[in-house]
Amino acid sequence: MNISDRDQATIWHPFTQMKLQGKLPAVVGAEGTKIFLEDGSVLLDMISSWWVNVHGHAHPHSIERITEQVKKLDQVIFAGFTHEPAVVVAEKLLPLLPGNPSRLFFSDNGSTAVEVALKMAIQYFHNKGKARTRIIAFENAYHGDTFGAMAVGGRSVFNTAFESLFFEVDHIPVPVQGREQECLEVLDSLLRSQEPAAIILEPLVQGSAGMVMYAPEMLNEIVKRCREKGVLIIADEVFTGMGRTGKLFAFDHIAEKPDIICVSKGITGGFLPLGLTACKAFIYDAFYSDDKMKALYHGHSYTANPLACAAAIASLELFEHPATQASIERITQKHKAFVKQYSGSPNFRAVRSTGTILAIEFETGNSTSYFNDLRDKLYAYFIKKGLLMRPLGNVVYVLPPYCVTDDELEIAYQAIAGLSHQPLTSLL
Ligand SMILES: Cc1ncc(COP(=O)(O)O)c(C=O)c1O
């Protein structure tokens, strides 16, 4: 039996209705932008494998750093002990993070980085003897799949079964073009009527919602208004961080800065899971006490796993190379040119980009949901063209590893352009 057959007999896949899912292709290797399949075919990874492989697959520098580390220390409990890889991650990352945070807390993935941020914010007020627990979040937000992260996420079919168990969250409109005023009015009325503990923001781009983009000025204004009312600012940079928006972090585009910041995905270059939550000194100080009850009682078995830390160090070292920033700039410019050329194409409702993120919203005529038929047809169309693209409903996006070549980008652009005019019914 091949790998795909064995998988079908044993495994339950994420975000998948298993009954409707055929056999899944098995990946046997990956290098740079290329993914090698069991049947000998090759795909170009135009989504950086769920947005994590920022430097491409199997980067030799990451392999070297992880290999060195595994020979020294594989894993050790992080309560009661520390180790150099964790300290180096903190020393390297803290000065790079917007807002000059002073402390770094380790967890395992984006969802747990968000859980930690929410707990930090709520317990901050608890430790200060203040009853502030409400959280503000964007409509249609996605912050992960653990319960706290789901609660601050948008309400959708993905979490209907759990909705009655969520804590109360106040959702505000995303300030996309045309909804700026509405967003600020809803925010102002919340800030007038209650004392929220925190606001959690996907800065500049909401990834899972369909690469929804809004202006830096609006992000700045929201943060400013919240700060005036003592609301803690949580930046969820799990997706937007590590260069995706053109700068290292999305908050680098604006003057206001967060109090707490969540990082994951590209931090390890896609090699190993790691979640990080950084906070400013005044938050840490509210936990720093002779009173044991004021500690942050949160941790995971693999907290600050040394191999994940080594992968993060390697990824951060790669960001120190001018070539990485040059690539980010090159991709940014290529995306912009695509937007210019294809905006207004009959089949494209909208074409937009921010940094290395390019999104094309297809006309559907009817539903725009994640589940519309077009999504599956588009997915299959791109696979046939040798491209791994994973449309979010009717939104196709290109989010390549920074090692992508101009020629490879061109292959993706041409495949998308091929759908700009022809009747989409030919796909359906
Ligand atoms: C903004 C944002 N936050 C959190 C998460 C959750 O990250 P993870 O899938 O690593 O738990 C994601 C995942 O896509 C995300 O886009």
The alpha carbon of 193 and the centre of ligand 1 are apart by a number of angstroms equal to 31
270 CB under 6 A from ligand 1?
no
pLDDT digits (tens, 9 = 90+) for 145-184: 999 999 999 998 889 999 999 999 999 999 999 999 999 9
Reading the block at residue 66, the tokens are: 């992880």
Q: What pTM does this model have?
A: 0.97
85, pLDDT greater than 80: yes
142 CB under 6 A from ligand 1?
yes
186, pLDDT greater than 70: yes
The alpha carbon of 145 and the centre of ligand 1 are apart by a number of angstroms equal to 8
Average pLDDT (232-249) is 98
Query: What's the half-sphere exposure (Cβ side, CA atoms, 13 Å) at 132?
Result: 24
CA 246/CA 269 separation, integer angstroms = 16
Predicted pLDDT at 364? 84
pLDDT digits (tens, 9 = 90+) for 333-358: 999 999 999 999 999 999 999 999 99
Predicted pLDDT at 357? 98
Q: CB–CB of 117/200 below 8 Å?
A: yes
The ligand 1 atom nearest the CA atom of 110:
7
pLDDT digits (tens, 9 = 90+) for 283-301: 999 999 999 999 999 999 9
428, pLDDT greater than 80: no
Average pLDDT (208-228) is 98
The alpha carbon of 50 and the centre of ligand 1 are apart by a number of angstroms equal to 9
238 CB under 6 A from ligand 1?
yes
pLDDT digits (tens, 9 = 90+) for 90-126: 999 999 999 999 999 999 999 999 999 999 999 999 9
C-beta pairs of 69-73 under 8 Å, 24+ apart in sequence: 69/306, 69/307, 69/309, 69/310, 70/307, 70/310, 72/306, 73/306
Mutate-to-test residue for ligand 1 from 15, 106, 107, 111, highest number of ligand atoms within 8 A of CB: 111
Question: What structural domains does the chain harbor?
Answer: 3-58+322-426 (3.90.1150.10), 61-320 (3.40.640.10)
Q: Closest Cα to atom 4, ligand 1: which residue?
A: 143
111 CB under 6 A from ligand 1?
yes
Residues of the chain above pLDDT 90, percent: 95
The alpha carbon of 51 and the centre of ligand 1 are apart by a number of angstroms equal to 9
17, pLDDT greater than 80: yes
127 CB under 6 A from ligand 1?
no
In the structure, what pLDDT confidence band is assigned to residue 367 with cuts at 50, 70 and 90?
Answer: low
Q: How far apart are the first and last CA of the chain?
A: 33
Average pLDDT (382-397) is 97
Mutate-to-test residue for ligand 1 from 114, 238, 271, highest number of ligand atoms within 8 A of CB: 238
Predicted pLDDT at 370? 58
Residues near 167 by beta carbon (within 8 Å), at least 6 away in sequence: 133, 135, 148, 151
In the structure, what pLDDT confidence band is assigned to residue 423 with cuts at 50, 70 and 90?
Answer: confident
In the structure, what pLDDT confidence band is assigned to residue 373 with cuts at 50, 70 and 90?
Answer: confident
